Structure 1
């Protein structure tokens, strides 16, 4: 019996993500939580003839407690998109506060659940989640994941233009580091099966993976960001985790984790100088079963990218830790 929760279920990512989870045969119960519209979203999805029983909750009447109690997996796409006139710092404070509140709910009502953080900026919201769980004495690093799968999905898709592979998901490309701009490092040299990228196309391809989100924002012309592809990526990671928890072996996906708390992570933390980093992680019943280190096999081009990534991530991570240590008024 698997109970999944989507926290932020009425938003641009939350609704399609809830649809995908409702259709997933691995989910028996699906609880939707948000500050608006969740009963309506749940009513709409409840007409779909799939296994999952669905309910929608609002903050009133202990909604958070009812939604989270008994959850096995909590997926958090909650947050607001940046509005005109809003600085990145304004956006950070709002979304950081939202994530902090939801993780306090996890600590209280479902501390053993797998927690999947989608809310941006992931490089900072995952450290926020960890610090909140540590304060509550409920932190299990093997069950906290920052979802960076959209970067992987983009790498698979964009490289298809070069390989011509009919199904892009059949090309496995490790994408490591963080989940924004230069902190995203696609390791095309380690693609399986191997891909041959012409030297004159490598910069553009790498940049497109790192800044693919801008492409969507521009195409939507002020009407939003990457919501549908992010929902798909969030679902893909959740489904892989549920399959691994169900006993399927050899399930590996890059994800942003607290390295010192994951088997194999210590060596990567020493090498990067960072406590949080996205690397390919083997998933299992315990969550993050084993972190794999692809950094020693990176080529010279990728090593330069990694240097910029380390510098960017340091600040992002400390910003998240600082937010919990000294919350703004």
Structure 2
């Protein structure tokens, strides 16, 4: 029995994400919430022959957030407006307050951008309510991982390898804070790939979202790929809840989720950061371990150095928004 919730279920990410959760046989209840159209989305999905019962709620409905969130095991949050940080900060604050009140033990998966700042917003709201568990709060960075796998498979000239290519992508979830550790790619990049090729591939992974915006003539951003990536991470959480062992995947987490692992990351970085996208091992209670960066080359060390100032500012912006609401 798994109750999954999607907050922002009627949007460009929310609808395909809700569809993917509906067809997951482990999901037995699916609750959808958005400012428009959720009853229609829920009715549409409810006709699909899978075990999940689907209900959709609007803010005008009586006790809408309470009904949506009560009993939730996992809450996935794509709510917000593409590339509108200030607006999204306010949206996230309100949703976090609902989670704190109605499902404080749920696993919270934040897709709403900018993830580097919205995850700290969720954390600060949950802290104020006295229910913050760093092991259960995740920033979904899986799209960076998916892009890295796909782009490396293209270089290997075999897209059939894409599902099995693994590239640790650490740091944060925007621009230069996205740090693909291509030196640790499995399978490794061929020796014919030059340093210039590595730099170009790194930038493509970091700014892949711009590629989509341009292709959509500025009329949209990455929605379908983000929905698939968000679902992929949500499914890993569901599998961990159900007891599957050895699940390791990158996610943007509060480093206090694993004190020893978090301190090891800070030592590798040579910096005091509260949040960092790291490879984490998942378990029934969320984050079991935070894994170290491992051996990184000089180019990647330079990427880390370039990322830390922006990442630190992003985190500070999120924390400050709750202290004094403006971003």
Contact residue 183 and residue 312 of structure 1 kept, 8 A: yes
Counterpart of 1:19 in structure 2 is 19
Give the SS at the match of 1:185: strand
Q: What is the match of residue 38 of structure 1?
A: 38
| SS in structure 1 at match of 2:113 | coil
Please, what TM-score do these two structures have when normalized by structure 1? 0.95
CA drift of 1:266 comes to 2.1
Mark the runs of 5 or more structure 1 residues left unpaired by the alignment: 83-90
Report deviation, 1:93: 1.7
Q: CA shift at 1:95, angstroms?
A: 0.3
Q: Distance in 2 between matches of 1:64 and 1:247?
A: 29
Alpha-carbon deviations, 1:183-242, whole Å to 9, x = none? 000001111222223323111110000000000000001220000000000000000111
Q: How does 1:1-329 map to 2 (within 5 A)?
A: 1-60=1-60, 61-82=62-83, 91-165=84-158, 166-196=160-190, 197-263=193-259, 264-272=261-269, 273-294=272-293, 296-328=294-326
The offset of 1:167, in angstroms, is: 2.8
Instruction: Tell me the distance in 2 between the aligned counterparts of 1:18 and 1:115.
Output: 15
Question: 1:146, 1:256 within 8 Å by CA — same for their partners in 2?
Answer: yes
User: How big is the shift at 1:269?
Assistant: 2.9
Are the counterparts in 1 of residues 106 and 136 from structure 2 also a CA contact under 8 Å? yes
Asked if structure 2 preserves the Cα contact closer than 8 Å seen for 1:260 and 1:269, the reply is no
Q: CA deviation at 1:244?
A: 1.4
Structure 1 stretch 163-172 or stretch 261-270: which is displaced more? 261-270
Contact 2:320 2:326 in 1 (8 A): no
RMSD across aligned positions (CA): 1.2
Could you tell me which runs of 5 or more consecutive residues in structure 2 were left unpaired when the two chains were aligned.
none
> Hey, what's the Cα distance between the residues in 1 that align with 2:14 and 2:258?
28
* 3-state SS of 1:169 partner: coil
What whole-Å deviation, never above 9, does each CA across 1:25-53 have from its counterpart, x for those lacking one?
11110000011110000011111111111
Residues of 2 paired with 1:126 and 1:314: CA distance?
A: 13
8 A Cα contact 1:155 1:186, kept in partner: yes
The aligned residue for residue 88 of structure 1 is none
* Matches of 2:112 and 2:301, distance apart in 1: 28
Structure 1 residue 271 displacement after superposition: 3.6
- Supply the distance in 1 between the matched residues of 2:162 and 2:5 (Cα, whole angstroms): 29
Instruction: State the Cα distance separating 1:265 from its structure 2 match.
Output: 1.4
Whether the 8 Å contact between 1:269 and 1:276 is mirrored in structure 2 is no
8 Å CA contact retained: 1:79, 1:98 = yes
Give me the whole-angstrom Cα distance separating, in 1, the residues matched to 2:299 and 2:69: 45
CA drift of 1:81 comes to 2.1
CA distance in 1, matches of 2:187, 2:81: 38
